[in-house]
Amino acid sequence: MNDVKAWPQVIFPLAEADLPALAVMAAEAQIGAWTLSQLVSSWQAGHLIVGLQWQQQWAGFAVLLPLPDEVELLEIVIAQSQQRQGWGRYLLTQCETWAIQQGKGRMLLEVRVGNMPARGLYQSLGYREIGRRRGYYPVPEGGREDGLVLEKRLLPEEAP
């Protein structure tokens, strides 16, 4: 019996030509997802865009901002048709491994308080809340929603 689980391919870094297909996939996966112009600006700003590919199709991506001591996760999306099979956790774990290899001490991110799938993903990987930004996100129906700031230590903290 062959019970080895097949995982999608992690492609890093992506080319600018890959971005239009990612934008289409993101729009299907999430209301208010990053648009093509946001992805292009991010790519041109030097952010790292890590892709997940399955059977020659884009299945997800993550956008990382590397800083001197830490990496900020700016976005993570898994294609609608591929959600809930562990691929978000796989992609984020791969990003953490890359960050550790770069000697970065922690991952940092922000999430809407009402985004329960994303909060579940981060909790399952051991992220912890370190702050709350009241009314940080606009809500499409009107009003605003809090953002949670989460972190995960990747390396032991240096002694003072």
84 part of the interface to ligand COA, by CB under 6 A: yes
Strand order in the sheet with 48-54: 9-11, 48-54, 57-66, 70-78, 106-112, 144-153, 128-138
Nearer of residues 68 and 134 to ligand COA, judged by Cβ: 134
Quote the CA–CA distance of 146 and 12 in Å, as a whole number: 32
Nearer of residues 116 and 155 to ligand COA, judged by Cβ: 116
In whole angstroms, how close is the CB of 107 to ligand COA at the nearest point? 12
Quote the CA–CA distance of 122 and 38 in Å, as a whole number: 23
- Which residue in 120, 126, 131, 138 binds ligand COA (CB under 6 A)? 120
The type of residue at 98 is W
* Residues found near ligand COA in the complex (CB under 6 A): 29-30, 76-78, 83-89, 111, 115-118, 120-121, 124
